[in-house]
Structure 1
Amino acid sequence: MSYWWVGINLMLVCLSAWAKLSVTAEPLRQTIDAPIEFTITQEDSKGLPNLVPLKQNFTIVGTEQSSYYQIINGQTSAKQQWVITLMAKKTGQLIIPAITLGQEHTKPLTVHITKPGSIAHQQPSAQSQNQAAIKMTATLDTKEAFSKQQMLYTVKLYNRLNLIDANYTPPAVDNGLLLAIGEGRRYQTAIEGELFAVNEQVYAFFPQQAGKVTIRPPIFQALSYDMSPKPLKITAPQVTATIKAPPVKLSSWLPAKKVWLDEQTQWPDTIKQGETFSRELTLKAVGLPAQMLPKLSFNDTKAYSVYSDKIKDNNAYQHHNVIGQRHFKVTYVCHEPGVITLPAIKLEWFNTQTQQNTATILPAKTLTVTAAPPAPAESASSPKMAIKHEGKKVPSSRVSFVWPGWILAAIFALGWFMTWFKMRAPKKVGTIPKRNRTKATDSLKNACYQNDPKAAKAALFTWMVKQFPDKDFRDITDLKGLNLPQDFINAIDELLAANYSKAPSSWSGDALWRCVSTYKPFKAKASPHPTLPSLYPDK
């Protein structure tokens, strides 16, 4: 009787254990190249399943764990679930062995594995399900356009799956330029009652040649883990456009919605001969990138020379339009006095909105150039003033009286001169140490010996600042305000020309260094014999 009661208790314990641990496998019949989802569900227990026995006949592709908690009438229950994705290693009847989880064991399952393609009705259903849950489109705003004309290529990715490890390959095209406009945008939309997350990216497409142009569509790859990890790869449909040749012959073909020129130059009223001034202009176009804008030409004349800085390009985006900006900065060196005229700048372009040829014109500018002042000559020493006493004899009493007066006047003059000199002497705080001036001079000397115009320009400016600390210099052309000799001015102009020249420089620093090494600031010489008015002027 006791043995019968023990057997019943053992059977109830086993039934209780099976109720707390369950397993499923879907599908039980699968091809060797398709996954199987093996699910373990455990109630009111903790621990991790031992998956090592599965590796005998299967490859573990992925594992996902989830936990559920429930409170009913104050009673708390917990459930844990593991979803293991398996790929069979061989065909035939394979056994998913019992898995140990803590002190419990799952029951073994049998699955039937066949060759690839032998179960045709299952794979299309999964594929169709993914295609309904994620898709990608690509469209052009117009099917026809002129070469270089902006077209909008829009890519949209619709998705309602949980994705990881996403990878996006952008579209590409031959004989054209594709620019992404901004960072794209993300929003949600409903399609046939289903809510999709949408990722949208707009590209500006600029074809370069007439004829048929095909854009290679983007590719999206990811891993879906809604039920089990599944690789996804989708491609947008291919798009083809017809590109037309320019309808008119222009010096430069610029199809755009708008083209204009901005000038940021502060024009001086007058400028001295030999001095320089800078001119800044910006060419802007709506519907054209900066890379496709032309280069403006500024030509030399007999009255002036022009030196161009490096062009700066920039692209901005507004309302699905590319706004190309090309910035020009040129320096003019005026050679002759008089009124000079800078010619107007005319740029022809094709308006894609009105389909008409038009032009943007920047009016001509005039500038007055004054003659350079002549180099100052050294002032000669003032001649001594001699007092003649023709036919007159100065009495001795008057001579004895003159000498004390002269001595007294000289004492007062000496005191006044010392006071003036002390007031005019520079303070020690603002002086530049001699070693700093020597270092600046050495740097300029090395740059001149190496015939390096860029280094010489920087070193000459440093030399100016160290040599004249009380001056407010902004450019090396400010040296011309110090009454330089003409050969020094010519050397500065040659240095500027070498820095702004388009062609390779053949500048020699000998002339500049000769002027710097022999330069001495001009100082008016005082008369060696200052004269005082006579105490007794002749009548």
Structure 2
Amino acid sequence: MVKQILQRGLVLLAALSISSLAWADRLTMKVERDLIEQGDIISLWVEADFQTLGNTLEYQQLDENFQVLSRQRSNFYEFVNGVSNAKTRWHLRILPKKTGKLIIPAVKLGDVSSQPLIIEVKQSNKANGDSSQTAFMRAEVESTEGYVQQQFLYRLRLYYRGKMLPGTGNMRPPIFNDSLSDTLQDEQTYSTVIDGKNYTVHEWVYALFPQSSGELTIAPSTISGVLSFNGHQKVVETESNPITLTVKPAQDLGQAYSKTQPWLPASSMLLEHQWQTLPNEIKVGDSLSRVITLQAYGLKASQLPEIDATDGNGYKVYNQPPQTAEEKLDSGIVSRVQVTQNFVPTTTGKMRIPAYQLRWFNTATQQFETLHIEAQVFDIKAAPGQVSYQPIEPTSTTSKITDSTKSDDKSDWLIWPLVTTFFAIAWLVTLIMWWLARGQKAQVIAADEEQESALQAKALTQNQWCQAEDKVFYQQLRQHLLEKLQIKQLSDLQALDAGDLQQQIQQFENALYAPETTHDNSKNAELKKQICERLNKLKTVKDPKKTWTKNTELQQLYPKP
């Protein structure tokens, strides 16, 4: 009886031991296939048939031979014979780093480890021709030789078979050393057939402008991504071919280049001009607007010249800021600059605006060409109420005296003794009068200046044009400067120590004639007030006959008191 009980206990203990082994925690690992090609991405599944209880899967040892691209984790439950079991599964996408037989090392979860696996990675089957590859790149330029600052078109294409997975296909853009560059086309996609095989093509187009002469090498561009091809995912990494350009220096015709006449290598250039609403009769103070448009094919807007007119004989010029624009086409860059010039006549008569010309180099014909705008002449009339002043011709007094002297040569020996005696007497009389008038001189001069200032102030207050509308005010102002102060150019005010007045008048001119300036009536009224007040403080230019004793070199002939 005791022996039977002992046997049954041993059987029960063995059964419990077997059951314990059957229910031990397990961590299993498997791959989708164990023979792959270099660049192929494979899936690795790791499964735990027990509660993970927050433990973290340890797979750092994979980094030696594999690159872990992604990892996903999922938990689920299964029921077998009424018994529920919790399981956790990891899905890792790995990329082999080398070829040959590679060991996928065991992974750990807490105290539980998996068994290692062995896979074989063979080299990818690439032939010498591009059409046999899954993916490849090509780079090309229309011409490998040109001039400094000339436009070169660089095209970069990626060809591949299959499907590029979203989020992949990262390209390193080309680097154009010592060149200005612009993207004309950013990744256009289309299909093509090479050797009877369908390829998807991604194309990029760039315009580059070398800034120095010599050889310019464009290094290869690279792209990496993940392709799905023939039911498998594959990592591809390819690069384009390098390109070397020969950049020649700028052509020279013996004339230095400048901002207004730069070196312009272009395939085509156009120059147009147009006058906006010319009046039938042009008067002093009118504003004539000319719009010049320059268009260039194969140049950036920053390479175009400055087109500015300068003040001329009988007119002032106000140049508006240039308006530039660029249009990007597959065939290159088209740039435009538009300049508005406002010509304001300041005197009557013929106003001649000089010709304008621009030289450029035609890269298609390899020849210099010149664009022209012909000179133009306008007949300027006086503004209503404006007095036209004619230039004063020099008198012929000297000539008459000379002729008279020639006719009287015979009587010179009689006249000169009498003249000498007369001047001697006059000098004595003058000396006596100077001594008598010396004490009253300062008082007389002060009285003259005070009387002159009073008359001037009275005259200015009577000038109603200070309250007139802007254009009439400007016309009368120029007339006053010419008649009262003998000022023909505003720069002449510097001689009267009136630089502030010059600035005020220039501000008023800009507000009146520059169209880009907002017309502010209150601001113009304040400027007119300031100009009139400043004019009131200026002294009119005296007749030279009245100033013979002031500030002349003749004073040193007289003794100082």
1:23 corresponds to which residue?
A: 30
1:141 corresponds to which residue?
A: 142
Report if the CA contact (8 A) 2:308-2:319 is conserved. Answer: no
Q: Tell me, in whole angstroms, the C-alpha distance in 1 between the residues paired with 2:60 and 2:71.
A: 20
- Structure 1 unaligned blocks of 5 or more: 15-20, 67-79, 101-105, 114-120, 377-466, 469-477, 502-507, 519-539
2:188 corresponds to which residue?
A: 185
CA RMSD between the two structures: 5.5
Report if the CA contact (8 A) 1:23-1:107 is conserved. Answer: no
Q: Tell me, in whole angstroms, the C-alpha distance in 2 between the residues paired with 1:214 and 1:87.
A: 34
Report if the CA contact (8 A) 2:264-2:361 is conserved. Answer: yes
Q: Tell me the secondary structure at the aligned position of residue 213 of structure 1.
A: strand
1:321 counterpart = 2:332: yes
2:422 corresponds to which residue?
A: none
With over 3 angstroms needed to count, the CA separation of the structure-2 counterparts of 1:479 and 1:219, relative to structure 1, is farther
1:213 counterpart = 2:216: yes
Report if the CA contact (8 A) 1:274-1:493 is conserved. Answer: no
Q: TM-score, normalised by structure 2?
A: 0.53
For residues 350-377 of structure 1, give each alpha carbon's deviation from its aligned partner in whole angstroms, at most 9, with x where no partner exists.
Answer: 222223222211222232322123379x
Q: Tell me the secondary structure at the aligned position of residue 486 of structure 1.
A: helix
Alignment of 1:245-284 (within 5 A): 245-249=249-253, 251=255, 252-269=262-279, 270-284=281-295
Shift of 1:493: 5.1
For residues 44-73 of structure 1, give each alpha carbon's deviation from its aligned partner in whole angstroms, at most 9, with x where no partner exists.
Answer: xxx99x99445375468244789xxxxxxx
Q: Which has the larger radius of gyration?
A: 2
Shift of 1:246: 4.2
1:168 counterpart = 2:171: yes
For residues 203-245 of structure 1, give each alpha carbon's deviation from its aligned partner in whole angstroms, at most 9, with x where no partner exists.
Answer: 2222233321222343434466779988765432221011223
2:477 corresponds to which residue?
A: 486
Q: Tell me the secondary structure at the aligned position of residue 278 of structure 1.
A: strand
Q: Tell me, in whole angstroms, the C-alpha distance in 2 between the residues paired with 1:323 and 1:276.
A: 32
For residues 392-442 of structure 1, give each alpha carbon's deviation from its aligned partner in whole angstroms, at most 9, with x where no partner exists.
Answer: xxxxxxxxxxxxxxxxxxxxxxxxxxxxxxxxxxxxxxxxxxxxxxxxxxx
With over 3 angstroms needed to count, the CA separation of the structure-2 counterparts of 1:514 and 1:306, relative to structure 1, is same
With over 3 angstroms needed to count, the CA separation of the structure-2 counterparts of 1:485 and 1:285, relative to structure 1, is same
Q: Tell me the secondary structure at the aligned position of residue 336 of structure 2.
A: strand
Shift of 1:41: 10
With over 3 angstroms needed to count, the CA separation of the structure-2 counterparts of 1:510 and 1:317, relative to structure 1, is same
Q: Tell me, in whole angstroms, the C-alpha distance in 2 between the residues paired with 1:39 and 1:163.
A: 21
1:305 corresponds to which residue?
A: 316
Q: Tell me the secondary structure at the aligned position of residue 288 of structure 2.
A: strand
With over 3 angstroms needed to count, the CA separation of the structure-2 counterparts of 1:138 and 1:497, relative to structure 1, is farther
Q: Tell me, in whole angstroms, the C-alpha distance in 2 between the residues paired with 1:214 and 1:92.
A: 41
- Structure 2 unaligned blocks of 5 or more: 1-10, 23-27, 74-88, 256-261, 388-466, 482-501, 515-523, 535-561
With over 3 angstroms needed to count, the CA separation of the structure-2 counterparts of 1:360 and 1:190, relative to structure 1, is same
Q: Tell me, in whole angstroms, the C-alpha distance in 2 between the residues paired with 1:87 and 1:246.
A: 53
For residues 483-538 of structure 1, give each alpha carbon's deviation from its aligned partner in whole angstroms, at most 9, with x where no partner exists.
Answer: 9852799888521556799xxxxxx99963435899xxxxxxxxxxxxxxxxxxxx
Q: Tell me the secondary structure at the aligned position of residue 124 of structure 2.
A: helix
2:117 corresponds to which residue?
A: 111
Q: Tell me, in whole angstroms, the C-alpha distance in 1 between the residues paired with 2:474 and 2:95.
A: 91
Alignment of 1:227-376 (within 5 A): 233-249=237-253, 251=255, 252-269=262-279, 270-374=281-385
Shift of 1:337: 1.0
With over 3 angstroms needed to count, the CA separation of the structure-2 counterparts of 1:175 and 1:23, relative to structure 1, is closer
1:404 corresponds to which residue?
A: none
Shift of 1:309: 2.3
Shift of 1:135: 2.2
Higher helix proportion, which one? 2
Report if the CA contact (8 A) 1:28-1:111 is conserved. Answer: no
Q: Tell me, in whole angstroms, the C-alpha distance in 2 between the residues paired with 1:484 and 1:345.
A: 30
Report if the CA contact (8 A) 2:148-2:211 is conserved. Answer: yes
With over 3 angstroms needed to count, the CA separation of the structure-2 counterparts of 1:234 and 1:489, relative to structure 1, is farther
2:436 corresponds to which residue?
A: none
Shift of 1:200: 1.0
With over 3 angstroms needed to count, the CA separation of the structure-2 counterparts of 1:514 and 1:191, relative to structure 1, is same
Shift of 1:166: 4.3
Q: Tell me, in whole angstroms, the C-alpha distance in 2 between the residues paired with 1:292 and 1:135.
A: 36
Shift of 1:145: 1.5
Shift of 1:317: 2.9
Shift of 1:321: 2.6
Q: Tell me, in whole angstroms, the C-alpha distance in 2 between the residues paired with 1:28 and 1:215.
A: 39
Which residue type is aligned with residue 247 of structure 2? Answer: I
Report if the CA contact (8 A) 1:54-1:96 is conserved. Answer: no
Q: Tell me, in whole angstroms, the C-alpha distance in 1 between the residues paired with 2:126 and 2:480.
A: 81
Shift of 1:86: 7.9
Which residue type is aligned with residue 68 of structure 2? Answer: V
Q: Tell me the secondary structure at the aligned position of residue 494 of structure 1.
A: helix
Shift of 1:147: 2.6
With over 3 angstroms needed to count, the CA separation of the structure-2 counterparts of 1:312 and 1:213, relative to structure 1, is same
Q: Tell me, in whole angstroms, the C-alpha distance in 2 between the residues paired with 1:369 and 1:240.
A: 60
Which residue type is aligned with residue 94 of structure 2? Answer: T
With over 3 angstroms needed to count, the CA separation of the structure-2 counterparts of 1:87 and 1:210, relative to structure 1, is closer
Q: Tell me, in whole angstroms, the C-alpha distance in 1 between the residues paired with 2:44 and 2:178.
A: 53
Report if the CA contact (8 A) 2:59-2:107 is conserved. Answer: no
Q: Tell me the secondary structure at the aligned position of residue 164 of structure 1.
A: coil
Shift of 1:320: 0.6
Report if the CA contact (8 A) 2:37-2:124 is conserved. Answer: no
Q: TM-score, normalised by structure 1?
A: 0.54
Q: Tell me, in whole angstroms, the C-alpha distance in 2 between the residues paired with 1:254 and 1:41.
A: 67
Shift of 1:481: 5.2
With over 3 angstroms needed to count, the CA separation of the structure-2 counterparts of 1:170 and 1:107, relative to structure 1, is closer
With over 3 angstroms needed to count, the CA separation of the structure-2 counterparts of 1:222 and 1:290, relative to structure 1, is same
